[in-house]
Amino acid sequence: MATDVVTVTQLEAWVRRFADLIAENRAHLTELDSAIGDADHGINMDRGMQAVLGKLDAAPPGAADELFKLVGMTLVSSIGGASGPLYGTFFLRFASACGPSVALSPDDVVKACRAGVEGLVARGKPELGDKTMFDSLHPALEALETAVGAGSSPGEAFSAASRAAARGRDDTVPMVARKGRASYLGERSAGHQDPGATSAALLFEAAAAAFGN
Amino acid sequence: MKKLINQPTTVVTDALAGIAAAHPELRVDHDHKVIYRANSPITGKVGLISGGGSGHEPLHGGFVGVGMLDAACAGEVFTSPTPDQMYEATKLVDAGAGVLHIVKNYTGDILNFEMAAEMAGEDAGVKVETIVTNDDVAVADSLYTAGRRGVGVTVLLEKICGAAAEAGADLASVAAIARKVNGAGRTMGVALTSCTVPAAGKPTFELADTEMEIGIGIHGEPGRYREPLGTAAAIAERLLEPIVTDLPYERGDAVLAFVNGMGGTPLLELYVMFAEVSRILTGHGISIERSLVGPYITSLEMAGCSITLLKLDDELVRLWDAPVCTPALRWGM
Protein backbone atom coordinates (compact mmCIF):
# COMPACT_ATOMS: atom_id res chain seq x y z
CA MET A 1 0.00 0.00 0.00
CA ALA A 2 1.52 3.28 -1.03
CA THR A 3 1.86 5.93 1.61
CA ASP A 4 3.72 8.42 -0.57
CA VAL A 5 2.39 11.92 -0.46
CA VAL A 6 2.94 14.63 -3.04
CA THR A 7 4.30 17.77 -1.44
CA VAL A 8 3.67 21.34 -2.58
CA THR A 9 7.31 21.46 -3.59
CA GLN A 10 6.74 18.51 -5.92
CA LEU A 11 3.52 20.05 -7.24
CA GLU A 12 5.41 23.23 -8.04
CA ALA A 13 8.13 21.14 -9.69
CA TRP A 14 5.37 19.57 -11.82
CA VAL A 15 4.20 22.99 -12.98
CA ARG A 16 7.78 24.09 -13.70
CA ARG A 17 8.55 20.89 -15.59
CA PHE A 18 5.37 21.40 -17.65
CA ALA A 19 6.55 24.93 -18.50
CA ASP A 20 9.93 23.53 -19.59
CA LEU A 21 8.32 20.85 -21.75
CA ILE A 22 6.04 23.43 -23.36
CA ALA A 23 9.04 25.64 -24.10
CA GLU A 24 10.97 22.69 -25.58
CA ASN A 25 7.95 21.72 -27.71
CA ARG A 26 6.90 25.25 -28.64
CA ALA A 27 7.82 24.94 -32.32
CA HIS A 28 6.48 21.38 -32.53
CA LEU A 29 3.07 22.36 -31.07
CA THR A 30 2.83 25.35 -33.38
CA GLU A 31 3.70 23.20 -36.37
CA LEU A 32 1.02 20.65 -35.48
CA ASP A 33 -1.43 23.55 -35.12
CA SER A 34 -0.50 25.02 -38.47
CA ALA A 35 -1.60 21.78 -40.14
CA ILE A 36 -5.14 21.80 -38.74
CA GLY A 37 -5.56 25.01 -36.73
CA ASP A 38 -4.17 28.50 -36.68
CA ALA A 39 -0.50 27.96 -35.99
CA ASP A 40 -0.30 29.44 -32.52
CA HIS A 41 -0.71 26.67 -29.93
CA GLY A 42 2.97 26.47 -28.98
CA ILE A 43 3.34 30.25 -28.97
CA ASN A 44 0.28 30.74 -26.75
CA MET A 45 1.01 27.92 -24.31
CA ASP A 46 4.60 29.06 -23.95
CA ARG A 47 3.52 32.66 -23.29
CA GLY A 48 1.11 31.38 -20.62
CA MET A 49 3.54 29.05 -18.88
CA GLN A 50 6.35 31.63 -18.94
CA ALA A 51 3.94 34.04 -17.22
CA VAL A 52 3.26 31.33 -14.63
CA LEU A 53 7.00 30.89 -14.02
CA GLY A 54 7.38 34.64 -13.54
CA LYS A 55 4.68 34.64 -10.86
CA LEU A 56 6.07 31.54 -9.13
CA ASP A 57 9.49 33.16 -8.93
CA ALA A 58 8.02 36.39 -7.56
CA ALA A 59 5.89 34.80 -4.85
CA PRO A 60 6.14 31.04 -4.31
CA PRO A 61 2.75 29.75 -3.09
CA GLY A 62 2.60 27.99 0.28
CA ALA A 63 -0.38 25.69 -0.31
CA ALA A 64 -1.65 23.53 -3.15
CA ASP A 65 -4.81 25.55 -3.77
CA GLU A 66 -2.83 28.81 -3.94
CA LEU A 67 -0.41 27.23 -6.39
CA PHE A 68 -3.02 25.95 -8.81
CA LYS A 69 -5.23 29.02 -8.50
CA LEU A 70 -2.21 31.10 -9.50
CA VAL A 71 -1.54 28.79 -12.45
CA GLY A 72 -5.19 28.78 -13.55
CA MET A 73 -5.75 32.52 -13.27
CA THR A 74 -2.47 33.28 -15.03
CA LEU A 75 -3.25 30.94 -17.92
CA VAL A 76 -6.80 32.32 -18.30
CA SER A 77 -5.48 35.86 -18.48
CA SER A 78 -2.43 35.24 -20.67
CA ILE A 79 -3.13 32.48 -23.21
CA GLY A 80 -6.32 33.50 -25.00
CA GLY A 81 -7.76 31.25 -27.67
CA ALA A 82 -9.57 28.13 -26.54
CA SER A 83 -6.56 26.81 -24.64
CA GLY A 84 -6.66 29.62 -22.05
CA PRO A 85 -10.14 28.91 -20.69
CA LEU A 86 -9.67 25.14 -21.02
CA TYR A 87 -6.30 24.82 -19.25
CA GLY A 88 -7.32 27.65 -16.90
CA THR A 89 -10.50 25.87 -15.88
CA PHE A 90 -8.58 22.59 -15.41
CA PHE A 91 -6.19 24.20 -12.93
CA LEU A 92 -8.82 26.32 -11.15
CA ARG A 93 -10.98 23.23 -10.51
CA PHE A 94 -7.85 21.31 -9.52
CA ALA A 95 -7.12 24.07 -6.99
CA SER A 96 -10.60 23.95 -5.47
CA ALA A 97 -10.37 20.18 -5.05
CA CYS A 98 -6.94 20.41 -3.34
CA GLY A 99 -7.87 22.86 -0.66
CA PRO A 100 -5.13 24.55 1.39
CA SER A 101 -3.06 21.36 1.85
CA VAL A 102 0.71 21.28 1.78
CA ALA A 103 0.80 17.57 0.92
CA LEU A 104 -1.65 15.51 -1.10
CA SER A 105 -2.27 11.78 -0.81
CA PRO A 106 -2.39 9.88 -4.11
CA ASP A 107 -6.18 9.75 -3.69
CA ASP A 108 -6.28 13.54 -3.26
CA VAL A 109 -4.28 13.96 -6.47
CA VAL A 110 -6.65 11.68 -8.37
CA LYS A 111 -9.65 13.59 -6.98
CA ALA A 112 -8.12 16.91 -8.03
CA CYS A 113 -7.24 15.64 -11.52
CA ARG A 114 -10.76 14.33 -11.96
CA ALA A 115 -12.22 17.68 -10.83
CA GLY A 116 -9.95 19.46 -13.30
CA VAL A 117 -10.94 17.26 -16.22
CA GLU A 118 -14.64 17.54 -15.29
CA GLY A 119 -14.33 21.34 -15.26
CA LEU A 120 -12.68 21.28 -18.65
CA VAL A 121 -15.45 19.06 -20.02
CA ALA A 122 -18.13 21.39 -18.64
CA ARG A 123 -16.41 24.34 -20.34
CA GLY A 124 -15.52 22.87 -23.74
CA LYS A 125 -18.06 20.02 -23.96
CA PRO A 126 -15.71 17.63 -25.77
CA GLU A 127 -16.57 14.00 -26.36
CA LEU A 128 -14.11 11.18 -26.84
CA GLY A 129 -13.02 10.99 -30.47
CA ASP A 130 -13.60 14.72 -31.16
CA LYS A 131 -9.81 15.08 -31.65
CA THR A 132 -9.17 17.35 -28.69
CA MET A 133 -7.17 17.56 -25.43
CA PHE A 134 -9.81 15.32 -23.89
CA ASP A 135 -8.65 12.39 -26.03
CA SER A 136 -5.40 12.27 -24.09
CA LEU A 137 -6.71 13.56 -20.74
CA HIS A 138 -9.45 10.96 -20.44
CA PRO A 139 -7.29 7.83 -20.83
CA ALA A 140 -4.63 9.46 -18.64
CA LEU A 141 -7.14 10.02 -15.84
CA GLU A 142 -8.43 6.46 -16.13
CA ALA A 143 -4.91 5.02 -15.98
CA LEU A 144 -4.12 7.26 -13.01
CA GLU A 145 -7.20 6.08 -11.11
CA THR A 146 -6.46 2.44 -11.84
CA ALA A 147 -2.82 2.73 -10.80
CA VAL A 148 -3.55 4.60 -7.58
CA GLY A 149 -6.38 2.18 -6.81
CA ALA A 150 -3.87 -0.66 -7.16
CA GLY A 151 -1.52 1.02 -4.70
CA SER A 152 1.06 2.50 -7.06
CA SER A 153 3.22 5.36 -5.87
CA PRO A 154 2.45 8.81 -7.38
CA GLY A 155 5.53 8.51 -9.61
CA GLU A 156 4.46 5.08 -10.91
CA ALA A 157 0.83 6.13 -11.28
CA PHE A 158 1.70 9.24 -13.28
CA SER A 159 4.11 7.22 -15.43
CA ALA A 160 1.20 4.94 -16.32
CA ALA A 161 -1.02 8.00 -16.89
CA SER A 162 1.64 9.58 -19.07
CA ARG A 163 1.88 6.45 -21.23
CA ALA A 164 -1.92 6.39 -21.56
CA ALA A 165 -1.95 10.09 -22.48
CA ALA A 166 0.67 9.46 -25.16
CA ARG A 167 -1.41 6.63 -26.62
CA GLY A 168 -4.49 8.87 -26.53
CA ARG A 169 -2.49 11.60 -28.26
CA ASP A 170 -1.32 9.17 -30.97
CA ASP A 171 -4.89 7.93 -31.40
CA THR A 172 -5.96 11.46 -32.45
CA VAL A 173 -3.99 11.13 -35.71
CA PRO A 174 -6.68 9.33 -37.78
CA MET A 175 -9.59 11.17 -36.12
CA VAL A 176 -11.76 13.69 -37.96
CA ALA A 177 -11.99 16.83 -35.78
CA ARG A 178 -15.42 17.79 -34.48
CA LYS A 179 -14.45 20.70 -32.22
CA GLY A 180 -12.49 23.91 -32.62
CA ARG A 181 -10.95 25.33 -35.75
CA ALA A 182 -9.77 21.91 -36.95
CA SER A 183 -13.41 20.92 -37.42
CA TYR A 184 -13.67 23.33 -40.36
CA LEU A 185 -11.40 20.95 -42.24
CA GLY A 186 -13.73 17.99 -41.93
CA GLU A 187 -12.11 14.90 -43.44
CA ARG A 188 -8.98 16.91 -44.21
CA SER A 189 -8.20 16.98 -40.46
CA ALA A 190 -7.57 13.22 -40.47
CA GLY A 191 -3.91 12.21 -40.64
CA HIS A 192 -2.73 14.97 -38.29
CA GLN A 193 -1.95 14.71 -34.58
CA ASP A 194 -4.04 17.05 -32.43
CA PRO A 195 -1.96 19.89 -30.90
CA GLY A 196 -4.16 20.13 -27.77
CA ALA A 197 -3.92 16.40 -27.11
CA THR A 198 -0.15 16.77 -27.55
CA SER A 199 0.25 19.55 -24.97
CA ALA A 200 -2.10 17.73 -22.58
CA ALA A 201 0.11 14.63 -22.79
CA LEU A 202 3.06 16.84 -21.78
CA LEU A 203 1.16 17.73 -18.59
CA PHE A 204 1.23 14.07 -17.52
CA GLU A 205 4.78 13.55 -18.74
CA ALA A 206 5.79 16.48 -16.53
CA ALA A 207 3.99 14.99 -13.52
CA ALA A 208 5.65 11.61 -14.03
CA ALA A 209 9.04 13.34 -14.04
CA ALA A 210 8.29 15.59 -11.06
CA PHE A 211 6.80 12.86 -8.83
CA GLY A 212 9.12 10.09 -9.92
CA ASN A 213 12.00 11.17 -7.72
CA MET B 1 8.86 37.87 -43.39
CA LYS B 2 8.80 41.54 -44.33
CA LYS B 3 6.65 43.61 -42.00
CA LEU B 4 6.60 47.13 -40.58
CA ILE B 5 7.13 46.01 -37.01
CA ASN B 6 9.61 46.49 -34.21
CA GLN B 7 9.45 42.93 -32.99
CA PRO B 8 6.86 40.18 -33.40
CA THR B 9 6.02 40.08 -29.69
CA THR B 10 5.07 43.77 -29.45
CA VAL B 11 2.92 44.15 -32.59
CA VAL B 12 -0.37 44.47 -30.73
CA THR B 13 0.83 46.80 -27.99
CA ASP B 14 2.69 48.98 -30.50
CA ALA B 15 -0.42 49.25 -32.68
CA LEU B 16 -2.54 50.17 -29.66
CA ALA B 17 -0.08 52.97 -28.90
CA GLY B 18 -0.64 54.18 -32.45
CA ILE B 19 -4.42 54.07 -32.09
CA ALA B 20 -4.23 56.08 -28.85
CA ALA B 21 -1.96 58.66 -30.52
CA ALA B 22 -4.09 58.95 -33.68
CA HIS B 23 -7.54 59.08 -32.10
CA PRO B 24 -7.85 61.36 -29.08
CA GLU B 25 -11.62 60.76 -29.02
CA LEU B 26 -10.80 57.21 -27.95
CA ARG B 27 -8.99 55.92 -24.89
CA VAL B 28 -6.78 52.88 -24.67
CA ASP B 29 -6.37 50.81 -21.51
CA HIS B 30 -2.96 49.42 -22.38
CA ASP B 31 -2.88 46.93 -19.49
CA HIS B 32 -6.08 45.25 -20.63
CA LYS B 33 -5.71 46.07 -24.36
CA VAL B 34 -9.14 47.72 -24.45
CA ILE B 35 -10.04 50.57 -26.82
CA TYR B 36 -13.04 52.58 -25.57
CA ARG B 37 -14.92 55.81 -26.09
CA ALA B 38 -13.44 58.64 -24.03
CA ASN B 39 -16.85 59.56 -22.62
CA SER B 40 -17.64 56.02 -21.36
CA PRO B 41 -19.88 55.03 -19.70
CA ILE B 42 -22.77 56.85 -21.32
CA THR B 43 -25.75 57.26 -19.02
CA GLY B 44 -28.86 55.42 -20.16
CA LYS B 45 -27.17 53.78 -23.14
CA VAL B 46 -26.68 50.06 -23.65
CA GLY B 47 -22.97 49.34 -23.98
CA LEU B 48 -21.72 47.44 -27.03
CA ILE B 49 -18.44 45.61 -26.79
CA SER B 50 -16.71 43.27 -29.13
CA GLY B 51 -13.27 41.83 -29.45
CA GLY B 52 -11.25 39.12 -30.99
CA GLY B 53 -7.81 38.30 -32.16
CA SER B 54 -5.81 41.14 -33.72
CA GLY B 55 -4.95 41.04 -37.41
CA HIS B 56 -8.48 41.82 -38.66
CA GLU B 57 -8.18 45.62 -38.51
CA PRO B 58 -10.11 47.82 -38.65
CA LEU B 59 -12.32 45.22 -36.90
CA HIS B 60 -12.91 45.76 -33.95
CA GLY B 61 -11.00 48.76 -32.56
CA GLY B 62 -11.58 50.84 -35.68
CA PHE B 63 -15.32 50.61 -35.07
CA VAL B 64 -15.31 52.18 -31.61
CA GLY B 65 -17.09 55.52 -31.56
CA VAL B 66 -20.42 57.29 -31.84
CA GLY B 67 -23.07 55.06 -33.42
CA MET B 68 -21.08 51.85 -33.23
CA LEU B 69 -19.07 50.11 -30.47
CA ASP B 70 -18.36 51.41 -26.97
CA ALA B 71 -15.27 49.25 -26.51
CA ALA B 72 -13.17 46.65 -28.29
CA CYS B 73 -10.77 44.12 -26.78
CA ALA B 74 -7.66 43.25 -28.74
CA GLY B 75 -6.22 39.76 -28.44
CA GLU B 76 -2.88 38.60 -29.74
CA VAL B 77 -2.80 38.14 -33.51
CA PHE B 78 -5.52 35.64 -34.48
CA THR B 79 -5.99 34.70 -30.82
CA SER B 80 -9.06 35.52 -28.76
CA PRO B 81 -8.64 38.12 -26.02
CA THR B 82 -8.89 36.86 -22.44
CA PRO B 83 -11.83 37.09 -20.00
CA ASP B 84 -10.17 39.73 -17.81
CA GLN B 85 -10.06 42.03 -20.88
CA MET B 86 -13.76 41.64 -21.68
CA TYR B 87 -14.59 41.95 -17.99
CA GLU B 88 -12.75 45.29 -17.76
CA ALA B 89 -14.35 46.52 -20.99
CA THR B 90 -17.80 45.51 -19.75
CA LYS B 91 -17.33 47.45 -16.50
CA LEU B 92 -15.92 50.48 -18.39
CA VAL B 93 -18.97 50.88 -20.63
CA ASP B 94 -21.82 49.83 -18.36
CA ALA B 95 -23.92 52.69 -17.03
CA GLY B 96 -26.66 50.41 -15.71
CA ALA B 97 -28.46 49.69 -18.99
CA GLY B 98 -26.49 46.49 -19.60
CA VAL B 99 -23.93 45.41 -22.15
CA LEU B 100 -24.15 43.44 -25.40
CA HIS B 101 -21.19 41.20 -26.15
CA ILE B 102 -20.72 40.74 -29.89
CA VAL B 103 -18.79 37.51 -30.41
CA LYS B 104 -17.66 35.88 -33.62
CA ASN B 105 -18.24 32.12 -33.63
CA TYR B 106 -14.83 30.68 -32.88
CA THR B 107 -14.28 28.27 -30.01
CA GLY B 108 -11.71 30.50 -28.31
CA ASP B 109 -13.80 33.64 -28.54
CA ILE B 110 -16.89 31.82 -27.28
CA LEU B 111 -15.12 30.32 -24.24
CA ASN B 112 -13.35 33.55 -23.24
CA PHE B 113 -16.43 35.74 -23.63
CA GLU B 114 -18.46 33.14 -21.71
CA MET B 115 -16.06 33.32 -18.76
CA ALA B 116 -16.12 37.15 -18.95
CA ALA B 117 -19.92 37.27 -18.96
CA GLU B 118 -19.98 34.98 -15.90
CA MET B 119 -17.52 37.26 -14.11
CA ALA B 120 -19.43 40.41 -15.08
CA GLY B 121 -22.70 38.96 -13.81
CA GLU B 122 -21.35 37.39 -10.62
CA ASP B 123 -18.72 39.91 -9.55
CA ALA B 124 -19.93 43.22 -10.99
CA GLY B 125 -23.69 42.72 -11.31
CA VAL B 126 -23.72 43.82 -14.95
CA LYS B 127 -26.52 42.56 -17.21
CA VAL B 128 -24.85 40.97 -20.24
CA GLU B 129 -26.46 39.65 -23.41
CA THR B 130 -24.35 37.83 -26.00
CA ILE B 131 -24.81 37.62 -29.75
CA VAL B 132 -22.70 35.11 -31.64
CA THR B 133 -22.26 35.84 -35.35
CA ASN B 134 -22.03 32.80 -37.62
CA ASP B 135 -22.55 33.87 -41.22
CA ASP B 136 -19.84 31.98 -43.12
CA VAL B 137 -21.61 29.60 -45.51
CA ALA B 138 -18.30 27.91 -46.36
CA VAL B 139 -18.57 25.88 -43.17
CA ALA B 140 -21.12 23.12 -42.92
CA ASP B 141 -23.27 23.90 -39.89
CA SER B 142 -23.57 20.52 -38.24
CA LEU B 143 -22.99 18.69 -34.99
CA TYR B 144 -19.62 17.68 -36.40
CA THR B 145 -18.11 21.15 -36.65
CA ALA B 146 -17.68 24.14 -34.36
CA GLY B 147 -20.39 25.71 -36.53
CA ARG B 148 -20.22 28.49 -39.05
CA ARG B 149 -17.61 31.17 -38.48
CA GLY B 150 -18.48 34.76 -37.71
CA VAL B 151 -17.16 36.97 -40.50
CA GLY B 152 -18.47 39.91 -42.60
CA VAL B 153 -21.87 40.19 -40.94
CA THR B 154 -20.08 41.16 -37.73
CA VAL B 155 -19.14 44.54 -39.25
CA LEU B 156 -22.71 45.26 -40.38
CA LEU B 157 -24.13 44.08 -37.06
CA GLU B 158 -21.83 46.35 -35.05
CA LYS B 159 -22.95 49.34 -37.16
CA ILE B 160 -26.68 48.56 -37.03
CA CYS B 161 -26.82 47.62 -33.33
CA GLY B 162 -24.63 50.62 -32.52
CA ALA B 163 -27.22 52.88 -34.13
CA ALA B 164 -30.03 51.23 -32.16
CA ALA B 165 -28.16 51.60 -28.87
CA GLU B 166 -27.27 55.22 -29.66
CA ALA B 167 -30.99 55.92 -30.23
CA GLY B 168 -31.80 54.60 -26.76
CA ALA B 169 -33.00 51.04 -27.44
CA ASP B 170 -32.88 48.83 -24.35
CA LEU B 171 -30.67 45.73 -24.03
CA ALA B 172 -33.35 43.23 -25.06
CA SER B 173 -34.21 45.30 -28.15
CA VAL B 174 -30.57 45.72 -29.21
CA ALA B 175 -30.01 41.98 -28.77
CA ALA B 176 -33.13 41.24 -30.82
CA ILE B 177 -31.88 43.45 -33.65
CA ALA B 178 -28.51 41.70 -33.42
CA ARG B 179 -30.17 38.29 -33.86
CA LYS B 180 -32.20 39.63 -36.76
CA VAL B 181 -29.08 40.94 -38.55
CA ASN B 182 -27.17 37.72 -37.98
CA GLY B 183 -30.13 35.72 -39.27
CA ALA B 184 -30.45 37.82 -42.44
CA GLY B 185 -26.76 37.88 -43.43
CA ARG B 186 -24.52 35.37 -45.19
CA THR B 187 -20.87 35.52 -46.28
CA MET B 188 -18.28 33.59 -48.27
CA GLY B 189 -14.64 34.44 -48.92
CA VAL B 190 -11.74 33.62 -51.21
CA ALA B 191 -7.98 33.80 -50.70
CA LEU B 192 -5.45 34.42 -53.44
CA THR B 193 -2.46 34.34 -51.08
CA SER B 194 -1.72 33.24 -47.54
CA CYS B 195 -0.90 35.53 -44.63
CA THR B 196 1.95 35.50 -42.13
CA VAL B 197 1.33 35.70 -38.39
CA PRO B 198 4.21 37.85 -37.06
CA ALA B 199 5.05 35.47 -34.21
CA ALA B 200 5.07 32.49 -36.61
CA GLY B 201 7.25 34.26 -39.17
CA LYS B 202 6.16 32.18 -42.15
CA PRO B 203 2.96 31.90 -44.23
CA THR B 204 0.09 30.07 -42.53
CA PHE B 205 -0.52 27.93 -45.62
CA GLU B 206 0.89 27.42 -49.08
CA LEU B 207 -1.03 28.47 -52.16
CA ALA B 208 0.51 28.31 -55.62
CA ASP B 209 0.55 31.38 -57.87
CA THR B 210 -2.06 29.76 -60.07
CA GLU B 211 -4.42 28.70 -57.27
CA MET B 212 -7.12 30.18 -55.05
CA GLU B 213 -8.84 28.87 -51.91
CA ILE B 214 -12.63 29.23 -52.06
CA GLY B 215 -14.34 29.44 -48.67
CA ILE B 216 -11.31 30.74 -46.78
CA GLY B 217 -11.66 31.85 -43.15
CA ILE B 218 -10.23 35.08 -41.76
CA HIS B 219 -7.35 33.29 -40.04
CA GLY B 220 -6.16 31.39 -43.08
CA GLU B 221 -8.31 28.40 -42.17
CA PRO B 222 -8.70 26.29 -45.29
CA GLY B 223 -11.89 26.65 -47.25
CA ARG B 224 -14.08 24.30 -49.22
CA TYR B 225 -12.17 24.02 -52.48
CA ARG B 226 -8.74 24.73 -53.85
CA GLU B 227 -9.03 25.59 -57.52
CA PRO B 228 -7.17 27.20 -60.39
CA LEU B 229 -7.46 30.98 -60.17
CA GLY B 230 -10.50 32.24 -62.09
CA THR B 231 -11.60 35.61 -63.42
CA ALA B 232 -13.37 38.09 -61.13
CA ALA B 233 -16.63 37.19 -62.86
CA ALA B 234 -16.12 33.47 -62.22
CA ILE B 235 -15.02 34.00 -58.61
CA ALA B 236 -18.04 36.22 -57.89
CA GLU B 237 -20.33 33.45 -59.19
CA ARG B 238 -18.49 30.89 -57.07
CA LEU B 239 -18.93 32.96 -53.89
CA LEU B 240 -22.45 34.26 -54.47
CA GLU B 241 -24.13 31.04 -55.51
CA PRO B 242 -23.82 29.33 -52.09
CA ILE B 243 -24.76 32.60 -50.35
CA VAL B 244 -27.90 33.24 -52.39
CA THR B 245 -29.17 29.67 -52.12
CA ASP B 246 -28.42 29.38 -48.39
CA LEU B 247 -30.76 31.99 -46.86
CA PRO B 248 -32.18 32.02 -49.60
CA TYR B 249 -32.17 35.52 -51.10
CA GLU B 250 -35.04 35.73 -53.54
CA ARG B 251 -36.37 37.77 -56.44
CA GLY B 252 -37.65 41.08 -55.10
CA ASP B 253 -35.37 41.10 -52.02
CA ALA B 254 -33.50 44.27 -51.15
CA VAL B 255 -29.98 43.73 -49.81
CA LEU B 256 -26.91 45.43 -48.51
CA ALA B 257 -23.99 44.09 -50.55
CA PHE B 258 -20.61 44.17 -48.82
CA VAL B 259 -17.44 43.40 -50.76
CA ASN B 260 -14.69 43.15 -48.18
CA GLY B 261 -10.95 43.15 -48.81
CA MET B 262 -8.87 40.60 -46.89
CA GLY B 263 -6.01 43.05 -46.38
CA GLY B 264 -3.81 42.56 -49.43
CA THR B 265 -6.21 43.32 -52.27
CA PRO B 266 -6.46 46.86 -53.68
CA LEU B 267 -9.75 48.74 -53.79
CA LEU B 268 -9.49 48.71 -57.59
CA GLU B 269 -9.99 44.94 -57.57
CA LEU B 270 -12.73 45.11 -54.93
CA TYR B 271 -14.71 47.39 -57.24
CA VAL B 272 -14.15 44.97 -60.13
CA MET B 273 -15.70 42.35 -57.85
CA PHE B 274 -18.55 44.66 -56.87
CA ALA B 275 -19.46 45.15 -60.55
CA GLU B 276 -19.72 41.37 -60.91
CA VAL B 277 -21.79 41.08 -57.73
CA SER B 278 -24.15 43.76 -59.05
CA ARG B 279 -24.45 42.00 -62.40
CA ILE B 280 -25.20 38.62 -60.83
CA LEU B 281 -27.72 39.95 -58.29
CA THR B 282 -29.51 41.91 -61.01
CA GLY B 283 -29.86 38.62 -62.86
CA HIS B 284 -31.49 37.12 -59.74
CA GLY B 285 -33.88 40.07 -59.42
CA ILE B 286 -32.27 41.09 -56.12
CA SER B 287 -31.76 44.82 -55.69
CA ILE B 288 -28.73 46.32 -53.99
CA GLU B 289 -30.17 49.08 -51.75
CA ARG B 290 -27.02 49.77 -49.76
CA SER B 291 -23.36 48.88 -50.26
CA LEU B 292 -20.04 48.75 -48.48
CA VAL B 293 -16.74 48.23 -50.31
CA GLY B 294 -13.34 48.12 -48.69
CA PRO B 295 -11.08 46.29 -46.23
CA TYR B 296 -13.13 46.16 -43.01
CA ILE B 297 -12.55 42.62 -41.66
CA THR B 298 -9.14 41.56 -42.82
CA SER B 299 -6.73 38.70 -42.44
CA LEU B 300 -3.38 40.49 -42.11
CA GLU B 301 -1.86 40.84 -45.62
CA MET B 302 -3.91 38.09 -47.25
CA ALA B 303 -5.03 38.86 -50.79
CA GLY B 304 -8.63 38.03 -51.52
CA CYS B 305 -12.09 39.17 -50.59
CA SER B 306 -15.34 38.13 -49.04
CA ILE B 307 -18.86 38.88 -50.14
CA THR B 308 -21.64 39.45 -47.62
CA LEU B 309 -25.31 39.92 -48.35
CA LEU B 310 -27.70 41.28 -45.73
CA LYS B 311 -31.42 41.21 -46.44
CA LEU B 312 -32.82 44.64 -45.61
CA ASP B 313 -36.09 45.98 -44.29
CA ASP B 314 -37.03 49.55 -43.38
CA GLU B 315 -35.73 49.22 -39.83
CA LEU B 316 -32.33 47.93 -40.92
CA VAL B 317 -32.01 50.61 -43.64
CA ARG B 318 -32.82 53.36 -41.13
CA LEU B 319 -30.25 52.02 -38.62
CA TRP B 320 -27.62 51.55 -41.35
CA ASP B 321 -28.11 55.15 -42.52
CA ALA B 322 -27.90 56.61 -39.00
CA PRO B 323 -24.82 58.75 -38.26
CA VAL B 324 -21.61 56.97 -37.32
CA CYS B 325 -18.23 58.37 -36.31
CA THR B 326 -15.45 55.85 -35.83
CA PRO B 327 -11.88 55.65 -37.16
CA ALA B 328 -12.91 53.27 -39.96
CA LEU B 329 -16.58 54.03 -40.69
CA ARG B 330 -17.89 57.55 -40.74
CA TRP B 331 -20.92 59.25 -42.26
CA GLY B 332 -23.71 61.63 -41.33
CA MET B 333 -21.64 63.58 -38.81
Give the domain CATH number at B234: 3.30.1180.20
Q: How many Å apart are CA B309 and CA B184, to the nearest integer?
A: 8
Provide the pLDDT for residue B11: 97
B125 and B194 together in one domain: no
Active site positions of B, annotated = 56, 219
B44 within a domain of the structure (yes/no): yes
Q: How many Å apart are CA A191 and CA B261, to the nearest integer?
A: 33
B327 within a domain of the structure (yes/no): no
Range of the domain at B139: 12-184
Q: How many Å apart are CA A47 and CA A34, to the nearest integer?
A: 17
Q: What is the pLDDT of residues B196-239, one digit of tens each?
A: 999 889 898 899 999 999 999 998 887 888 999 999 999 999 99
Q: What is the pLDDT of residues B105-151, one digit of tens each?
A: 999 999 999 999 999 998 899 999 999 999 999 987 666 788 999 99
Partners of residue A34 in chain B, C-beta under 8 Å: 200, 204-205
B3 within a domain of the structure (yes/no): no
A125 within a domain of the structure (yes/no): yes
Find, among B176, B166, B181, the residue nearest to B37 by Cα: B166
Range of the domain at A10: 6-211
Q: How many Å apart are CA B258 and CA A176, to the nearest integer?
A: 34
Q: Do B115 and A85 touch (CB under 8 A)?
A: yes
Partners of residue B220 in chain A, C-beta under 8 Å: 38-39
B329 within a domain of the structure (yes/no): no
Q: How many Å apart are CA A26 and CA B162, to the nearest integer?
A: 41
Partners of residue B80 in chain A, C-beta under 8 Å: 80-82, 84
- The partner residue sitting opposite A40, judged by closest CB among B78, B140, B217, is B78
Q: What is the pLDDT of residues A97-129, one digit of tens each?
A: 999 999 999 999 999 999 999 999 999 999 999
Q: Count the domains in chain A.
A: 1
Q: Count the domains in chain B.
A: 2
How many CA atoms lie within 13 Å of B279's alpha carbon, on the beta-carbon side?
Answer: 12
B125 and B143 together in one domain: yes
Q: Among B152, B184, B216, which residue terminates a domain?
A: B184
pTM for this prediction: 0.90
B175 and B223 together in one domain: no
